Amino acid sequence: MIRRIYFHPFIKRAKSLNSKWYQEIKKAYIRRSLGGWLLFVVSLLLTAFIWQTVDFKTFSIYEAGLVGLVILTLLLAVMSHISALGTAAVHVLKQFENNQMTL
C-alpha cells in the first residue's frame, strides 16, 4: 500500500510510454529492490517482537527506542524502493541512449 502511494504516478506514466520500456524498468527495479524488501521484512519482524514483549501500560525509553527503530526501518525501506525505481529508470534511459534499445 505504501509503495502504491509513492509509485502510482510514476508507474502510470511509465506504462503510458511504451510497454517495452515499462517492462525493462520493471525488470531493473525488481533486481535492485531487494534491500528495500529486506528492510520492510525487518520492520515487520520488529513490530511482531514489540507486540509480543512490550507492556503498553508502562511505556519506557526502551519501548520508545524500539518504536523509533521500526519507524526508521520503514523510512529506509521506502527510500530504498524510491532509489531502486529511480536507478532502474536511469538504467533504461542509459540503454536507450547507447542505442541498446529501440522504441
What residue ranges do the domains of the chain occupy? 28-103
Whether 36 and 77 have beta carbons less than 8 Å apart is answered as yes
Q: How far apart, in whole angstroms, are the C-alpha atoms of residue 46 and residue 52?
A: 10
Give the Cα separation of 103 and 101 in Å (integer).
7
End-to-end CA distance of the chain: 32
pLDDT score, position 102 = 60
Asked if the model's pLDDT at residue 20 lies above 80, the reply is no
Whole-model pTM: value is 0.72
**Per-residue pLDDT tens digits for 23-71:** 888 888 888 888 888 999 999 999 999 889 887 788 889 888 988 999 9
By the 8 A CB rule, do 24 and 92 touch?
yes
- Of the listed ranges 8-12, 19-23, 35-39, 78-82, the least confidently predicted one is 8-12
Q: For residue 58, is it left (φ>0), alpha (ψ between -120 and 50) or beta?
A: beta
